Chain A
Amino acid sequence: MAQMQLDAAALPLAQPRRMSFAFLGVVPFFVFAVMFLLWPTAFLMVGSFQDADGHFTLENIYRLSEPTILNAYKISIEISVASALLGAIFGFFLAAAVVLGGLPRWLRPTLMTFCGVASNFAGLPLAFAFLATLGRTGLVTLLLRDFVGFDLYATGFNVLSFTGLTLTYLYFQIPLMVLILTPALDGLKREWREAAEVLGATSWQYWRHVAIPVLWPSFLGTTLLLFANSFGAVATAYGLTGSSLNIVPILLYAQSRGDVLHNPNLGYALALGMIVITGLSNGAYIWLRARGERWLK
């Protein structure tokens, strides 16, 4: 069935008269994209509107409002919003410090290289690192206890929790923000600031009326990208909390291993919900990035 689908998808693009045989050169790419990206995703999308016998139904979509599933979406969105906002704000300050702050020159390439590494240092190793840092016998936990007399875990803190997960996600969220926002900050022309100063603007007025309006689309867009980035993350959360934290990617992981929802089509709907959420935030990111780039040319 997949094969037939492939042919059907490839045909409308072929149009031999206009493109001659040139189209043949990209056939492997489209076959690959359809087989390993589009068709499996489309399969889930269609499946979420079907019942066990393959008839059309909205039952699965409706059942996403069940308390466990709704709660998983809620926690997932909360963690993603928290880590995206904090990552964006702190990433912005770091990028601004290194681009505009008048710090020594060597700091910038050092930070950029580190951000390249850290934005790719996710998943299980990152979870292990934070367990070794803020876990019950982690270095920071022990140092705080022995030298400051502050028992972190007495405050109800747990690295296997909302706060812990958010703090861990920031380790790849902040660097991603720095990497994407630095070019935007470079685009702030020196002349704008000088012009504002000549006209008697304070630093605050310059930021309020010139820099922030120019940077706003890039900032907001990248925040949305960070949101999608943490929303789909499985390995970090799984490494940190096992399956104890009920978030959507973990629930979908459990559903893939063994039908924990006892309804395959409900699992498809769960995946559809993820695609819709990451799709919307990425779509908004692309739109905002296009707006933001107008000033950088």
Chain B
Amino acid sequence: MKRSRLGPWLAMAIGTAYFLIPLIATFEFSLRMKRGEYSLEAYRVVLADPRFQASFGYSTLIAIATILMGVLLIVPTAYWIELKLRNLRPLVEFITLLPLVIPAIVIVFGYLHTYNSSSWIPLIATPRGTDLLLTFGYMTLALPYMYRAVDTGLRSIDVRTLTEAAESLGAGWGTILFKVIFPNVRVAVLSGAFLTFAIVIGEFTLASLLDRPAFGPYLQLVGANRAYEPSALAIVAFVVTWACMGLIQIFGRDRRATMAGR
């Protein structure tokens, strides 16, 4: 039976139009800054803005801190659960899914009341403390993605055998974790890391409510006050997101290639 391909092509055409038109329009809009001609003026203005550099740098730093601390928290936990505490797996999985259930705005609203300057742990009282709280908040938001990536990576290797082999060769826990387990889940950790970066870099709600000079609040400020620069920033943000997803694909493909080559 020959089926008509008109429907599928139509769906693809409408989808492509819907997804591409806003990107084209944003790019076109971002070129309009100089009257009567297309120019990259908006990009020049944005990239030269010291507040852009400062906020982008700040968000990059926080993103890296989030990734490092997240990896250090999640890899040992997921490893330990796979190795010793399998009966805790459902509970841990449930907890890691909660940030998808509880909206970020609710979580940060809770932070504002539990970590304010009159609380037992007044993290919000100092800028450094708030930076730390922001990082913990981003770790929470990234938890579902990071944990799932690492857990999938750990399940695809034989954790028990690797651990026993390392132990019988006299390795301590630190050696096992950092020299045996980490290298084996490197690809999974990296894909979780890039996804985390994509989420954190332009995040608005937490950064704005904790009043930190991050890229998200800067975007909002520019969006509220300028005409053409927001479009240029949207294109920049889109390129950053695209780069993160592209890197995930590239690292994922590398792994498949080496596995096939074995």
The chain B residues found within 8 Å of chain A, CB to CB, are: 1, 3, 5, 7-9, 11-12, 14-15, 18-19, 21-26, 28-30, 73-74, 76-77, 80-81, 84-85, 88, 92, 95, 97-115, 119-121, 136-137, 139-140, 143, 195, 198-199, 202-205, 209, 216, 219-220, 223-224, 230-231, 233-234, 237-238, 241-242, 244-246, 248-249
Residue in contact with A234 in the complex, picked from B21, B105, B224, CB distance below 8 Å: B105
Q: Which of B73, B102, B121, B195 lies at the interface centre, i.e. has the most chain A CB atoms within 10 A of its CB?
A: B102
Since A36-B140, A121-B237, A139-B25 are in contact, a sample of 12 more A-B pairs with Cβ atoms closer than 8 Å, ordered by chain A residue number, is A25-B76, A26-B88, A44-B110, A47-B113, A94-B15, A101-B9, A103-B9, A116-B245, A133-B25, A139-B28, A239-B219, A257-B209
Q: Are A101 and B109 in contact (CB-based, < 8 A)?
A: no
Q: How far is the CA of A228 from the CA of B104 in the complex (A)?
A: 12
A124 pairs with B28, CB closer than 8 A? no
22 contacts between A and B (CB under 8 A): A1-B120, A2-B119, A23-B85, A32-B73, A36-B136, A41-B110, A43-B113, A97-B9, A113-B245, A123-B202, A125-B234, A131-B230, A132-B26, A133-B25, A139-B21, A139-B29, A140-B21, A234-B204, A235-B216, A238-B204, A256-B108, A264-B113
For the residues of B in contact with A, the DSSP-based class is helix
Say yes or no for A221: interface residue by CB 8 A criterion.
Answer: no
> Assuming the A-B contacts A94-B12, A132-B25, are A41 and B104 also in contact, with contact meaning beta carbons closer than 8 angstroms in the complex?
no
Closest CB of chain B to A169's CB: distance in Å?
12
The answer to whether B106 and A271 touch across the interface, beta carbons within 8 angstroms, is: yes
Could you say which of B9, B101, B203, B223 contacts A275, with CB atoms under 8 Å apart? B101
Q: Which residue of A lies closest to B229 (CB)?
A: A128
User: Is B25 a contact of A138 with CB atoms below 8 Å?
Assistant: yes
Contact (A124, B219) CB under 8 Å given A40-B113, A40-B114, A271-B109: yes
Q: Which residues of A have CB within 8 Å of B88? A: 26
Size of chain A's interface in residues, with CB distance under 8 A?
A: 85
Shortest beta-carbon distance, B40 to chain A, in Å? 16
Contact among A23, A124, A174 with B223 in the assembled complex (CB-CB below 8 Å): A124
Contact of A170 among B18, B119, B241, B245 (CB under 8 A): B18
How far is A138 from B244 in the complex, measured between Cα atoms in Å?
28
